[in-house]
Amino acid sequence: MGQFRNLQAVDGHEFAAFESLPDGEARAGVVVIQEVFGVNPHIRSVADGYASEGYAVIAPAIFDRVERGVELGYDEAGMGAGIKLAFQDLKMENTLKDLQAAIEHVSSRAPNGKVAVVGYCFGGLLTWLSACELDGVTCASSYYGGGVAGMREKQPRCPVMMHFGELDAHIPLSDVEAVRTAQPGVQVFVYEGADHGFNCDARGSFDADSAALARKRTLDFFSEHAA
């Protein structure tokens, strides 16, 4: 359904992005932010899924700053390589430049100019930062964003929704409660019996019921605020 294209950040950096467009006029734009595994087949399928709901979608390859064409597996080696790329090799200020470029691009694809952001894992953290620091974000849905608790005092510029798994060892429920306490205006959902990565049908932690409910909540949220 979608295809890769090139975008350019404000500093001149060119990077790949997977773009998926709906049939007919777009309801709004959506930026899909990758996990630490890159813009792999799963993220591309997520982008296509939002396009099938009538949104113009872009999924920027934020690892292109370090290494182009990254698509990692979900095994231990892939996880280790992705964590290194995300948390050691990337510079956050540059990542935010790339996300800002993606927001501006997909805004131009939507007649109403509105853009929702959704991200998973590392992308869940970047979704929170996008809502707090970037221009043009109408609403944001963050899935199991590792590190959000440590940045919970930031102030979002738009409505935000967050999704966490009850059994997520990477994000203990104490962190979720800290976020909820610090951000009473943010909708925070905890999915019973779900683990980290519950939305990804390519991972062993996939939970179909939790993924379906979180997606419905996200789509309803986007319809309310962006479409």
Residue 196 annotated as catalytic: yes
In single-letter form, the type of residue at position 201 comes to D
The answer to whether residues 177 and 210 touch, using CB atoms and an 8 Å cutoff, is no
81 within 8 A of 72, measured Cβ to Cβ:
yes
Type of residue at 25: E
Annotated catalytic residue, options 121, 139, 158, 200: 121
Please confirm, yes or no, whether 175 is among the known catalytic residues: no
The active-site residue, picked from 163, 175, 196, 207, is: 196
The residue annotated as part of the active site, out of 64, 98, 168, 195, is 168
- What is the helix (H) or strand (E) element at residue 67, kind and residue range? none
Question: How many Å apart are CA 148 and CA 128, to the nearest integer?
Answer: 7
Q: Which two tokens stand for residue 81?
A: 């390589």
Distance, in Å, from the CA atom of 187 to the CA atom of 50, rounded to the nearest integer, reads 21
Q: Cα-flanking dihedrals φ and ψ of residue 139, to 5°?
A: -165, 165
Tokens coding 189: 């959902």
Is position 121 annotated as part of the catalytic site? yes
CA distance 149 to 144: 11
Catalytic residue annotation: 121, 168, 196
